[in-house]
Amino acid sequence: MTAAVSERSELAGESGAGADAPGSITRLAAARDSAQPLLRVKNLSVSFTGRHPVDAVSGLDLSVYPGQTVALVGESGSGKSVTARTIVGLAGEHSRISADEFQLSGRDALAFGERQWQAVRGGVVGFVLQDALTALDPLRTVKREITEVLRTHKVVPRREYERRVLELLADVGVDDPEHRVNQYPHQLSGGLRQRALIASSLAGEPELLVLDEPTTALDVTIQAQIIELLREYQRRGTAMLMISHDLAVVSQLADQVIVMHDGKAVEEGPVARVLSQPVAAYTKSLLAAVPSAASRGQRLSGERINVNEAAELARPAQDPNWVAAEVPVLQADNVTRYFPLPGGRGRRRAVADVSLRLHRGQKLGIVGESGSGKSTLARILLGLIAPDSGEVRVHGESWTVKDRELWRRLRHSVQFISQDPIGSFDMRYTVAEVISEPIQGVLSPKEIAERTAGLLHIVGLDERVLKVSPRLLSGGQAQRVAICRALALRPSVIICDEPVSALDVSIQAQVLDLLHELNRATGTALAFISHDLGVVRHLCDQVIVMNNGFVVERGDADEVFDHPEHPYTRSLISAIPQISAK
């Protein structure tokens, strides 16, 4: 054994296990029968030094036993992720950690140096981050990423590496694992990247899994597979600390839940009691913010926009050449798009003969699993790629990337809000420059300043953020800035690609309310792409369901959700997690 693996074996109480021994199963079986928690933290406090010191976590008590799952829930900034990173020794060099007790697998984690933490991570404790793109090495294939864990922690013999990698990828629902193992992170969809990261974290067969939003990027059917996979690891005795804003997933996996706010625990207890009979007002507000069929037509948050100001600043611009209002603001007629397969193996059909109509003021939901063609369709509707056949029309005019003059003339009518607003911003810009970029050269400097400040006010942000870098924004603030930028040119339609999937439930509620009220006040149409069917049911009037590039069902949202006709639609709806007592 290497020194690192020997240290890890000592930490896990697994002295003398050979490389071929199924050490994880023995270890988990012993842990399950133990009365001691794998993780015990008492009076944990974490602060960050610097120009603006921050007390991120204060006085937190936490214990996780073998086979038990404890969930941390709360808004962005509540201290959940800081707690998770502290548990795996990744709080950061400017952090200050204090605790009356911090025991990890029977050892004093407060005394760990970096060498000890390196031995622990992966084998004793696994960590699944929300942002798989940054967590995975961009220079390594999926196969190399997972094999590194198997080799470091001696999980299986060398001759078994490839077999085990394929097994792990199949376990987490990766299609065609023999092909995916040779791909790099940038070649995978967001959902596939997240599954690859989970597979890598499971490869070391750790005693404790720390899961920071592990299913946020996943479609409902894959999410259901991951939930069942994690349940299997629970049954084997794996302890889990889960951070999630999805209270339905929490209710299905967790035994205990701790609700955090401003770095402190405001409520904790058995998950069934906390989610069905909350005591703290903050917990009640989180539950009230969950979108569903029952919340349709209702506000999820207490915020309101200035309707009159929104109508004045963001109402779609009108062109005298545009035809009557009954003509769709955006339509696609039988669009099809192919992409070449790697290695010249042929072509893959991403979008197949899709048609849709989007009228002024309409909210259209586009749903389907990863790989169904949703995002490719969005790029076609945005004019970023041309269909191989069919056409897109904006205000009745044919719009293709080949006609550059027409594309520029209609560009302002169709705008975009992405899942990752920070990734779509130029980090060299201030927030003011990010918002005003589309209207530079269109309006005078004075008009630009007035319009930028007005849009910021509509979405509920203080003008002080105009001078800061986008990297200093929270997730909710960044998404509001993205909405401002999309509204700057007074578009007729906004394409929203998973705009709330990375947001906490209360921030998600505010953004959904904002989109709904802007739609109502201005008549701006929304094409809303999401894998969260609860969000789509809450927000959208019409729905189309995509599978393997085809539209398999369409219609009124209530009709599609209450009476689905296609088997694929029924499978999606049946996989929607529900908040329930365990």
Task: Tell me, yes or no, whether 207 and 340 share the same domain.
Answer: no
| Helix 142-152 / helix 190-203 crossing angle, nearest 10 deg | 20
Q: Is residue 226 part of a domain?
A: yes
Distance CA 294, CA 289 (A): 11
The tens digit of pLDDT for each residue in 323-334 reads: 555 789 999 999
Q: DSSP assignment of 277-291, as one string?
A: S--SHHHHHHHHT--
The answer to whether 61 and 269 have CB atoms below 8 angstroms apart is no
Task: Tell me, yes or no, whether 128 and 15 share the same domain.
Answer: yes
Which pLDDT band holds residue 22 (cuts at 50, 70, 90)? very low
The tens digit of pLDDT for each residue in 268-325 reads: 999 999 999 999 999 999 998 888 878 887 888 877 777 777 778 888 876 555 555 5
Instruction: Look at residue 156 and tell me whether its pLDDT is greater than 60.
Output: yes
Task: Tell me, yes or no, whether 278 and 233 share the same domain.
Answer: yes
The answer to whether 143 and 181 have CB atoms below 8 angstroms apart is yes
Q: What pLDDT is stored for residue 10 in this prediction?
A: 42
Comparing 190 with 33, the larger pLDDT belongs to: 190
Instruction: Look at residue 236 and tell me whether its pLDDT is greater than 90.
Output: no
| Closest listed residue to residue 146, CA positions, set 185, 176, 88 | 185
The answer to whether 241 and 72 have CB atoms below 8 angstroms apart is yes
Q: Is residue 472 part of a domain?
A: no
| Closest listed residue to residue 415, CA positions, set 470, 481, 534, 495 | 495
Q: Global pTM?
A: 0.78
Q: CA dihedral defined by 336, 339, 341, 343, rounded to 10 degrees?
A: 140
Q: Hey, CA dihedral for 159, 161, 166, 171, is it positive or negative?
A: positive
Range of the domain at 570: 316-425+491-574
Q: Is residue 430 part of a domain?
A: no
Task: Tell me, yes or no, whether 115 and 222 share the same domain.
Answer: yes
Task: Find the helix or strand (DSSP H, E) in which 478 lies.
Answer: helix 475-487
* Neighbour-count burial of 550, counting CB atoms closer than 10 A to its CB (0-12 exposed, 13-18 middle, 19+ buried): middle
Task: Tell me, yes or no, whether 93 and 210 share the same domain.
Answer: yes
Distance CA 531, CA 249 (A): 14
Mean pLDDT of the chain: 85
Total number of domains in the chain: 2
Task: Tell me, yes or no, whether 274 and 320 share the same domain.
Answer: no
Q: Hey, CA dihedral for 500, 506, 511, 513, is it positive or negative?
A: positive
Q: What pLDDT is stored for residue 35 in this prediction?
A: 67
Task: Tell me, yes or no, whether 256 and 398 share the same domain.
Answer: no
Task: Tell me, yes or no, whether 71 and 152 share the same domain.
Answer: yes
Q: Is residue 110 part of a domain?
A: yes
Q: What residue type is assigned to position 159 of the chain?
A: R
* CATH code where residue 114 lies: 3.40.50.300
What are the residues whose beta carbons fall under 8 Å from the beta carbon of 239, sequence distance 6 or more?
A: 31, 37, 38, 39, 64, 65, 66, 67, 68, 69, 207, 208, 209
Measured in degrees and rounded to the nearest 5, phi and psi for residue 157 equal: -60, 160
Locate 550 and state its tokens.
């085809």
Instruction: Look at residue 577 and tell me whether its pLDDT is greater than 60.
Output: yes
Instruction: Look at residue 79 and tell me whether its pLDDT is greater than 50.
Output: yes
Task: Tell me, yes or no, whether 279 and 362 share the same domain.
Answer: no
Instruction: Look at residue 32 and tell me whether its pLDDT is greater than 50.
Output: no
Q: Is residue 459 part of a domain?
A: no
Length, in residues, of the chain? 582
Q: Is residue 294 part of a domain?
A: no
Q: Is residue 135 part of a domain?
A: yes
| Closest listed residue to residue 498, CA positions, set 216, 261, 288, 234 | 216
Which of 288, 307, 338 is the last residue in one of the domains?
Answer: 288
Task: Tell me, yes or no, whether 340 and 252 share the same domain.
Answer: no
Q: Is residue 49 part of a domain?
A: yes
Task: Tell me, yes or no, whether 85 and 227 share the same domain.
Answer: yes
Distance CA 242, CA 557 (A): 32
* Neighbour-count burial of 139, counting CB atoms closer than 10 A to its CB (0-12 exposed, 13-18 middle, 19+ buried): exposed
The tens digit of pLDDT for each residue in 496-519 reads: 988 887 777 888 888 888 899 889
Q: What pLDDT is stored for residue 322 in this prediction?
A: 54
Task: Tell me, yes or no, whether 346 and 238 share the same domain.
Answer: no
Q: What pLDDT is stored for residue 242 in this prediction?
A: 94
